[in-house]
Amino acid sequence: MRSTGENNPYRGKRVLVMGLGRFQAGSGSSAARFFAGRGARVTVTDLKRRDELKEPVARLRGLGITFVLGKHRKEDFRRADYVIRNPDVRSTNPLLALARRHGAKVVTDIGVFLEHCPPIWPIGVTGTRGKSTTTALVGEMLRRAGLRTYVGGNIQVSPLTFLDDLWRDYRKIAPAGVVLELSSWLLEGLSKAGVSLRIAVITNVMRDHLNTYPSMKEYIEAKAEIMKGQGKSGVAILNRENAITRRLAREAPGSVLWFGKRPFSGDGTFVRNGRIMYRREGVSRAVARVSDLRHLAGTHNLENALAAVTAAKVSGVPDTAVVRALRAFRGLPNRLERIRIVRGVAYYNDTTATTPDGTIAALRTLGKGKNIVLIAGGKDKVLEFRALARAIREQVKSLVLFEGTATAKIIWELRRIGYPYDEVPIVKDMRVAVRLAREAAKRGEVVLLSPGAASFGLFQNEFDRGAQFVKAVRKLV
């Protein structure tokens, strides 16, 4: 059963949405709207209080939804026919286990979408770093190829918001493409639910989220979910230069295509003499040039582009569309985004760098000697900061840190290598951080927000952190 229009399995069913979230098109709000529109008896439950969720609750007014806020009630989970799990809710949550014991089907908005999606080839993208940029770039390539393109998932847009539009396109025989950014939480249990993605991209796998996963092994297993249910017709697109994704190739049920900055044996995308080469069934040809990446700096973004090219070519996108997309794409907000230049100092917002690896990549991209004033730190995700400390010593002129458990680990590692950690200011407020950074920076230098840590405790999320940075920088004169 695919379409939910003519054959509606949800009318009269008790649907419990666990986790509303704040984003207008996010998983929680979109799921509540989707199921209410299909005649389900929808209850939304969230540990946040009503005053904390004022705006998202107001957007759902008039849809007959029941709200249980500031708590979760066990009876709601016992009575539910379906429980929609927000991405921030782990699949191992005891309340979800309670719901399963009482016969409920526990799913995510991604699982619902894939179950009811028209018979097209959605592209799924996951990875520790680069998945948002890769997702958006694949979407741009599909658009340039003339497809009506839908991009969603962990990129703050639930695919349930465009499922009906996608079916309309399909019935009109209008060519359409779908690209989904998928976090490890969204992927948990996907293969057990009996849904899969025909084309699956894993940009890389590095240490992350070890504050929520008991081990790196479990985190890797969650990432591998993107390709487990593919079958022999599936295509897994993996990073040749990442040790973990090389190992994961053995778990791919279908074919494997690689991407990497250096030439390799096997099918996929690589760089040779400044050209982006695509090889399929042993035949190599140039698709584009590295110089076509006019607006994306850094070797990490070259890897993202190679992953996107591979997914686009597997999907049948012509070379001309690939080149036009590479030349036009300017990156995403909050990812090495240059905000403005004030008195010769460039200010960059890289708030989505929530791991040390992300911050190191930013320092390598912008660093020219010790020319960077870095704003970093925050909450630890049980990660290692030794390599970041070395990068700070090599490329950071001055450092400002946000208070948090990650900051304590950064300072410890700085002390181990002889960096003058006792001179580093530790702050709780973005305006103070920007003011101190401005005082330290001179003409020709860079102020970079690239925390290498989570935002919680001082900010609502990493996007709130970035928004506060942008606001503070805009006020500089």
Crossing angle between the packed helical segments 299-314 and 131-144, to the nearest 10 degrees: 40
Going residue by residue through the chain, which has 477 residues, state the pLDDT in tens, using 9 for 90 and above. Answer: 334 445 799 999 999 999 998 888 999 999 999 999 999 999 999 999 999 999 999 999 999 999 999 999 999 999 999 999 998 898 889 999 999 999 999 999 999 999 999 998 899 999 999 999 999 999 999 999 999 999 999 988 999 999 999 999 999 999 999 999 999 999 998 888 888 899 999 999 999 999 999 999 999 999 999 999 899 999 999 999 999 999 999 999 999 999 999 999 999 999 999 999 999 999 999 999 999 999 999 999 999 999 999 999 999 999 999 999 999 999 999 999 999 999 999 999 999 999 999 999 999 999 998 999 999 999 999 999 999 999 999 999 999 999 999 999 999 999 999 988 778 999 999 999 999 999 999 999 999 999 999 998 999 999 999 999 999 999 999
* Cα–Cα dist 304/261, whole Å: 10
* Cα–Cα dist 260/303, whole Å: 6
Q: Taking the CB of residue 275, how many other CB atoms lie within 10 A of it?
A: 15
Paired sense of beta strands 337-342 and 275-280, if any: unpaired
CA distances from 218 to 87, 184, 188, 210, 252 (A): 16, 10, 10, 9, 17
Paired sense of beta strands 82-85 and 105-107, if any: parallel
Joined tokens for residue 209: 């989220």
* Cα–Cα dist 384/338, whole Å: 27
User: What confidence score (pLDDT) does residue 422 get?
Assistant: 78
Evaluate whether 189 touches 97 at the Cβ level (below 8 Å).
no
- Structural domains for the chain: 14-107 (3.40.50.720), 110-328 (3.40.1190.10), 337-474 (3.90.190.20)
